[in-house]
Amino acid sequence: CKWKSPETRRWSRFAVLVQSAPALWSPTYTSRRLVVPNNYKHVCLFSQSAANMAEEAKKLAAYAAVDNHIQNNQVVGVGSGSTIVYAVDRLAERVRQEKLNIVCVPTSFQARQLILQHGLTLSDLDRHPELDVAIDGADEVDEDLTLIKGGGGCLTQEKIVAGCAKHFVVIADYRKDSIALGQQWKKGVPIEVIPMAHVPISRTIAKRFGGEAHLRMAVSKAGPVVTDNSNFILDWKFEHAQNWKEVNTAIKMIPGVVETGLFVGMAERAYFGMEDGSVQVRDPPVN
């Protein structure tokens, strides 16, 4: 939660000293005791409850996918992001309980660390170029199961691994479910690019497809985000719905583009953890 006043924001670290604040707002401090609005506690509890609900929804979707798609003697592609953490938890649990023989291929440094931390068998595409199933999250999923991925910067490896799998399954919470791309996810389509080409690529995308493509800047380092492949990421904020298959192909043909975060016609099933504790399953439409 954030304080409404910039002055009091500096003192937010003292909020822990006030467990039962009076129902009175005061901008003053006495002995480092902060007096807060009466509804502050309710705002915090609401925010925490919403966050907990989303995390539980991620877990429900992840567990359902692992339970429905993982079998003995499989090679499994392990995606990246916050939801995949629960999938690896469940996968490791089943491996221990059912003595499953599972080999895991990661899509990122994060996925590799998760596999190792859970004591699962780590491999790569050199040794296992064909996967039985890949499970990954998404930033947004539309009604056709077209995805936006790459919010975590791992889109290229994620698409490679998904493309090597016989079955590609998506897991997400209810916030990622949309009728059309852009309805929920407002940060745009990630596009991995060769660093020297990021300016001409951003100009070309804006000119040909509208919107704006901005270089993604890092939070805990100076300068741009650098992918596992030592490339940059542009986030293209599009203005309206597109023919995503055509746009994806056209953007990939721009010199310097490595990959896009558009996953078109790749997912065969999506699992959404819902607010009411259920899991919604979606298959692509039959043409």
Q: Would 3 be classed as within a structural domain?
A: no
Q: How many residues does the chain have?
A: 287
Show the domain range for 54. 47-277
Would the pLDDT of 91 be above 90? yes
Q: What is the pLDDT of residue 46?
A: 59
Rounded mean pLDDT of the chain?
A: 88
pLDDT, position 41: 52
β-strand partners of 262: 148
Q: Rounded distance, CA 36 to CA 45, Å?
A: 15
Whole-number pLDDT of residue 45 = 59
DSSP 120: P
Q: How confident is the model over 16-73, as pLDDT tens digits?
A: 333 433 333 333 433 444 454 555 555 555 567 878 999 999 999 999 999 999 999 9
* Predicted local distance difference test score (pLDDT) of residue 24: 32
Contact 133, 167 (CB under 8 A): yes
In a domain, 42, yes or no: no
Q: Output the CA–CA distances (angstroms, integers) from residue 2 to 7, 15, 40, 51, 171, in the order listed.
A: 12, 11, 9, 15, 31
Quote the percentage of the chain above a pLDDT of 70. 83
**Number of domains comprising the chain:** 1
Residue 186: pLDDT above 80?
A: yes
- Answer yes or no: is 23 within a domain: no
Asked, for residue 139, whether it belongs to a domain, the answer is: yes
- pLDDT at 18 (0 to 100): 33
pLDDT classification of 216: cutoffs 50, 70, 90:
very high
Residue 221 lies in a domain: yes
User: Region 195-212: what's the mean pLDDT?
Assistant: 97
Return the pLDDT at 114.
98
**Catalytic annotation, residues:** 158
Reported as a pLDDT band with limits 50, 70 and 90, residue 241 is confident
The CATH code of the domain that includes 271 is 3.40.50.1360
Quick check: is 35 in a domain?
A: no
- Is 214:187 a contact under the CB 8 Å cutoff? no
**Per-residue pLDDT for 79 more than 80?**
yes
Q: Is residue 211 part of a domain?
A: yes
Evaluate whether residue 287 is within a structural domain.
Answer: no
